[in-house]
Structure 1
């Protein structure tokens, strides 16, 4: 997920100030849809509406119920991410290639292949966090956001926010390895997906950060890292999963 440097307090209060793309007079569903759009910067109304329609049909629920379910999860994610953030959140995706100009802490190597990290981060004023998977103990695979495609990058000088964690997945080394291989071999080079609210696709042509980590384990190892089972998977859903175990906090 992209990072910018927003103040944590603004990350929550600014949600009340973001302009809406759908007339509020359209009713409860439209109002909630506007809120959900504001919590997923960069997504279009058309894309979000299509995802909502598909989700409602699969779940056998109304559009209003689908919107409320997704909005509740997105709000919860924002609060959780903000609570794990220091005074300012780091600009995600800035690593060795940036010359190290961005303040933060160096992520460094992992204890094992297939480990993950979760860091405080924001897109615009919206806190959701950022995550990536270790292809090797020294190399990450991530979806950095913006115009950048998903990529592999050295972990040594990669910058994360203070309070970031390194985690391992509670499974066999074989499953951790196949998940890491899948991320490296199948999930790089994808455009960024701004839709976190409905991102649980293992074969999407676009990937965001938590979708990539989730898809690597789900597709290759059959392990679902979504901690709350909602319509979307956010970075702190993965951090709080019963299958992830923190072994270092930065």
Structure 2
């Protein structure tokens, strides 16, 4: 079981004054998040306007700076279609990367997921399979030739309602079933972030938190930054049912490189 920090996502600075956007800001945010308890990182490289990009220069600068700030901690990036809608161009950009992340997320409800996964696999970059609730992602993923090779499954709850999020998360986990080819990381966003994180902890699943997913702390106050969110999540951790504090329980230990 891991706690991943998702430091910025596709958000813009106007949503939070301390959202890390530049490579230098992401490196500092990564250092603080790891010090607070994160063991894995998910970041969105940005262009000069603050928009997500898969441009090789931006990916290289971001990954290099973050990796230098937290040596040995796995660093992942997005390949979301909003950064480049054409999947063929998206896959071509992956093949042009000069500095490689440890892993990258691929959203299976997006057209061309297999093309992007193929490009990442060719480059030796591990794939996180993003499976959004309310989409046909699970069906598409199960039919994919890459279903048995991914690093982990990101079970992503798109329902932002605090009162309904756990039920939506449970339905997504039920749809995934138990015959899974990889560990699951369960998370929500905005209003569902903390309820879903608590559910993940109760079920002994990996989870994540950061300004990509939520801007407030469990008590409803505005989070001052990523490190505060990680500390709050770490404070909620409890052993999974039937496990002691030192039990691995088939933990997702993340990539080895």
- TM-score bucket of the superposed structures, by smaller chain: under 0.3
TM, length-normalised to structure 2: 0.27
